[in-house]
Structure 1
Amino acid sequence: MKKYVLNLSLLLASGTWAASVDVVSPDGRLKVVSDISDGRPVYSVSYDGKSILENSPLGIKSDIGDLSTGMSLVESRRGKVSKSFDQDKIKKSHIEYEANQLITTLRNSKGHTLDIEWLVSDNDIAFRYLIPCQGDTGAMVINEEVTGFRFPEQTTAFLTSQSDAMIGWKRTKPSYEEFYITDAPLDSASKFGQGFTFPALFRIGNDGWALLTETGVDGYYCASHLTDYKDGVFFIAYPMPEENNGNGTTAPGISLPGTTPWRTITVADNLAPIAETTIPWNVVEPRYEVKRKARPSRGTWSWIVWQDNSMNMEDQKTFIDLAADLGYEHILIDAGWDKNIGYDRMPELLGYAKSKGIRPALWYSSSGYWNDIVQSPINKMDRPIVRKKEMKWLRDNGVECIKVDFFGGDKQETMRLYEDILSDA
């Protein structure tokens, strides 16, 4: 049962007030201070009185104006958020989420307005931008987020590099398979000069730990990562223009009023709260109800052992038998099944799996126009008409699960494709 309690009270009205406001966690250990420094919104974070993030920048730059400079605080509201929910596919089955809320309203001399929402719970911070209509303007392109993270100088980093786009095997990168640097100096350069992938972990000397990531990303925005360390700060970075073979924009377009995804910071004096955090789920809501719950299962997979040559009727039946003998529940039938076995013969193989009590999952490429993948099926998942036809064939033949591979990047276009495939499935 989910509950959402929100109680806002006005703290500041128009007039001359101090720009600094703060919000603390229910246990009083985690604190966020929101401030204005020379017209620039900033924030800082402390835990048990020890600095985790020093004054770090906030704001956005858009096609209608710069909402990161010349800003002043005009209003601040406080509230509390309380949620209780069950989740059957993450690290904790029942979650009780309690957070203190702060919403600050900033405005510049041109009348452009930006709200920043903070939710601070024990060990977790989530914040995002709430952007109202700007006069008669009801649409915006956010060209850049000024959001940054300025760590104390004793901090070391555990990071994995963001790859260049359209490189590597069959030009499929970024594939999020780069190696991590561990306990490294803050100014360690990323391998490709493109910054670092979320999640990102930092050790603030002996004073604590901080994990950065994002959540609530959907088709109304792009996914993000971190820049290289520059001017003492890691900034939010958008996708590279080359991603998706150059298709789609790097800057997200949103309707107004609109919101950005949540940026989250998990803070503790040990690693247990870092590993145990459920903040990516705590601040979002389900978008739709599924017809069938996801079921964890064990399976066999011929490709990991015998590679592409195993994609034939005989070998797949062998691995179906193996799954049945082991008491497993499914098999992944990998790339090339459509050509090597064929759509005409697949009902025979799928029926064989069903006779053994094994649920098959089929592999698909995400597209055919943003990499050089020849492993098929291709061009089945990236367009709605052919995708819906394929989904019907899958359903009619008893396939409950698909694996869609080699997405082309983090642009808004890709986020929409994720949602489209999910909703059609």
Structure 2
Amino acid sequence: MKLKIILVSFAVLSFCHAWSQQIVLLSPNKKIVAALHAMDAKNNGEWYLKVSYQTDKNTSEILPKVNLGLSRSDQDFSKELLFLKATKPKLVKEHYELPFGKKLVRDNEANEVVVSFENPGKAKLNLIIRAYNDGVSFRYEFPEKKGSYVVNDEFTAYQIPKESKRWLEKWNPANEGLYAESSEDKILQQEWCYPGLFNSSDKSCWFLLHEADLDRNYCGTKLSNTKDSNTYKLTFPDPKDGRGTGESKPSISLPWQSPWRVITIGSLSDIVESTLVEDVSTPTHFKTTDWIKPGKVSWNYWSNNHGTKDYKTVCEFADLAVKMNWPYTLLDWEWDAMANGGNLEDALKYIHSKGIKPLMWYNSGGDHTWVSSTPKDRMLTHKNRVEEFTKLKKLGVVGVKVDFFESEKQDMIKYYLDILEDAAQFEMMVYFHGCIVPRGWSRTYPNLMTYEAVRGAEWYNNGPEFSTTAPEHNTILPFTRNVVGAMDYTPVTFTNSQYPHSTSYGHELALSVLFESPLQHLADRPEGYYDLPEEAKTFLKEVHTAWDDTKLLDGYPGQEVTMARQKGDIWYIGGISASERKEITKKLKLEFLKEGVNYRAILIADGKHDKAFSSQVMVVNKNSTIEVKLLRRGGFAVSLIPMEK
């Protein structure tokens, strides 16, 4: 059977090889091209995707080859795939809202094609491909109705031109490493965390590799270039993860679909502003989300690792939340050993008496974690969770932080989702620490507020390294980890914990805008906030944690970043620099503001030294430019409030 060429929007692409047949899919805006190629002229063998990006001037082949296929315990679906048919391109168009995130209203559209194959055993495999305006996604499907198997391997692998710059984090089960930049002859070969950021070899665009809509039917994957420095293959969890518990290869039952393989593509602003990971994920079945309320949280662990053991410390942080107009306070580990004037019940009564809502920490429990901290195992089974959530509901606790998962095997994916589903029955918010990087679950389970999965401010407690690496690290995260979902970095600390900051006060204040997390744990001790100048204190009282819109204004990973976020009619801007050697001056263009409206701008920037602020108030509009000076490792924050005429 000869394979027909499918053309979307009447676009014509030349064949790269005379013998290679292809299906071509264009994004609705015609900038992104996904072409499916056969390695064999008879359309019977191996297949691969080629992904290109079209600008006004040229076409950039950003991924010359994405290998495809799977190996199942009963047979192979990669080397001898016979093309059967392809559907006509279908327009996928969605409109939805989430109660938090970088954007309130989500509108997306894509062209989709489903390509059907058959292997020598007559078993069927479908490849579902979508081209969005901000990227490409694809997934595998076994459409047959019966059968249970183990997936031995997935052969999805991204071939990256060696000249492409890349920012990747060495694999670790907690996803708490540092991103390293590399290209050409300086490329390390090892396993890597998601997401991976790449700048195309001709510098025409950027792309981010990730996965989404992971469910109970698969395990989490990671990227590995151990065999070829420029080919990043999807790899299953290490059998040793989670202390060796659980199977590293996933078991599936037909019919079955894999997670989406997601390639976000475009300019740096396209990457940062994209919601593609959530766009491709399963919509929620929650009937109401009124009980899901983002907000800022006071947190005692950063400044006092045993703070929750002390009733008086817990009360001090509840008082901090009151004085700063923050709705929540977190009782971290050791709440079950609380003393020095009161126990857990006393603390909860005090917190409620102040009009604050408590959140509580739990060990994930089980043999998958070596951490023995109690309370342990209360989240481990459905029975235990129901008992615990019933108690928490009576105690007025509104959310739980569950820690130490240490694995992305299929059994752990099931565990994550079981927690979320049981918590939802009690209208309980959830967030994970020591955990997986977001996979789009917040769309499916909007009670999932945030994840750690980042080297955050906690690392000031772990050794001297973060004092040096934090400034650059902070400028990489908005382009990588925080793109794909909420990030519980626990930012905005002015005093020092075990090891000191090298970032300026202006840098730390800016993180409240730059780092998106619906539950934003502001980690400093009470005096760290009480001693601030009034302008900075007011900013932290008023800045939001869920956004209507997000815009990247300027930046480059590892150097600097400036972002604007909108809530209602108010805009906030945060900007930071990683520069170790020189101060910089930024000129902020405010073209994103509403036409014909004047705004009261309050600029809080670096002062004479890194522990001082410089503030000024001005009237601006969309034609205005604000000039701001940043110290070394410095930063600034701006609030823009419409003025009444």
Alignment of 1:230-379 (within 5 A): 230-231=227-228, 232-268=230-266, 270-289=267-286, 292-341=290-339, 345-379=343-377
Encode CA deviations 1:74-112: one digit per residue, 9 max, x unaligned: 101121111111222111111211110111111122212
User: Are residues 1:203 and 2:187 paired?
Assistant: no
Do the aligned residues in 1 keep the contact of 2:162 with 2:183 (CA within 8 Å)?
Answer: no
Structure 2: which amino acid aligns with 1:362?
M
Other-structure match for 1:119: 130
Partner-residue secondary structure (3-state), 2:378: coil
State the one-letter code of the partner of 1:348: D
User: Equivalent residue of 2:248, what SS?
Assistant: coil
RMSD between superposed Cα atoms in Å? 2.2
Offset of residue 146 of structure 1: 0.4
Which of 65, 70, 76 aligns to 2:86? It is: 76
- 2:284 and 2:212 map into 1 onto residues whose CA distance is 14
- Contact 1:36–1:71 under 8 Å retained in 2: no
In structure 2, distance between residues paired with 1:414 and 1:288:
22
Match of 1:167 in 2: none
| Contact 1:149 1:234 (C-alpha < 8 Å) held by counterparts | yes
- Aligned pair partner of 2:36 in 34, 37, 58: 34
1:277-310 CA distance string (max 9 Å, x none): 1111111223431564421111211111111155
Tell me if the contact between 2:5 and 2:22 (Cα under 8 Å) persists in the aligned partners.
Answer: no
Amino acid in structure 2 at the alignment position of 1:20: Q
Q: In the alignment, residue 180 of structure 2 is paired with which amino acid?
A: I
Tell me the distance in 2 between the aligned counterparts of 1:120 and 1:386. 43
- 1:153 Cα offset (Å): 2.7
Whether the 8 Å CA contact 1:188–1:229 is kept in 2: the answer is: no
Give CA-to-partner distance per residue, 1:144-190, whole Å, 9 cap, x none.
11001012231121000102xxxxxxxxxx21111111144486225
Corresponding residue of 1:159 = 168
Q: Does structure 1 retain, via aligned residues, the 8 Å contact 2:332–2:361?
A: yes
In 1, the alpha carbon distance for the partners of 2:272 and 2:26 equals 22
Native 8 Å contact 1:367 1:381 kept in 2: yes
Q: Structure 2 CA distance, aligned partners of 1:392 and 1:242? A: 35
The structure 2 residue matched to 1:407, chosen from 405, 408, 411, is 405
Contact 1:155–1:202, Cα closer than 8 Å, also in 2:
yes
Deviation per residue, 1:321-376 (Å, 9 max, x gap): 1211222111111101112359x932221111111011111000111422221322
> How far did residue 18 of structure 1 move?
7.3
The alignment partner of 1:245 has SS state of: helix
Structure 2: which amino acid aligns with 1:44? K
Separation (CA, whole Å) in 1 of partners of 2:157 and 2:382: 37
The equivalences for 1:152-191 within 5 A come to 152-163=161-172, 174-185=173-184, 188-189=187-188
| 1:11 to partner: Cα distance | 6.4
Change (3 A) 1:151 1:229: farther
Deviation of 1:29 (Å): 1.2
Deviations 1:111-148 (A, max 9, x none): 121100011011211110011228xx522211111001
In the alignment, what sits opposite 2:64? 54
Cα 1:108–1:310 shift into 2, 3 Å: closer
Q: Would the aligned equivalents of 1:155 and 1:204 in 2 still touch at CA under 8 Å?
A: yes
Q: Give, in angstroms, the shift of residue 210 of structure 1.
A: 0.9
Q: Answer yes or no: is the 8 Å Cα contact 1:244–1:370 preserved in 2.
A: yes
Distance (whole Å) between structure 2 residues aligned to residue 52 and residue 318 of structure 1: 53
Higher relative contact order (CA 8 A, sep 6+): 1
CA distance in 2, matches of 1:229, 1:106: 30
Cα–Cα, structure 1 residues 115 and 186, in superposed 2: closer, same or farther, change >3 Å? farther
Report SS of the residue matched to 2:252.
strand
Whether the aligned pair in 1 keeps the contact of 2:362 and 2:375 (CA below 8 Å) is yes
Paired residues in the alignment total: 396
Counterpart CA distance in 2 for 1:341 and 1:73 is: 69
Q: 1:184 to 1:382 in 2, by over 3 A?
A: farther
3-state DSSP of counterpart to 2:295: coil
DSSP 3-state at the match of 1:357: coil
- Give the Cα separation in 2 of the matches to 1:230 and 1:24: 32
User: Structure 1 residues 318, 154: closer, same or farther in 2, change over 3 A?
Assistant: same
In the alignment, the residues of structure 1 paired with residue 237 and residue 185 of structure 2 have an alpha-carbon distance, to the nearest angstrom, of: 22
Q: Where do 5+ consecutive residues of structure 1 fail to align?
A: 1-9, 164-173
Stretches of structure 2 that go unaligned for 5 or more consecutive residues are 7-18, 424-645
The Cα offsets for residues 194-226 of structure 1, whole Å up to 9 and x where unpaired, read as: x10111001113232110101101122111110
Matched residues in 2 for 1:353 and 1:53: separation?
54
Equivalence for 1:227 = 224
| Aligned AA (1:408) | E
The corresponding residue for 1:43 is: 49
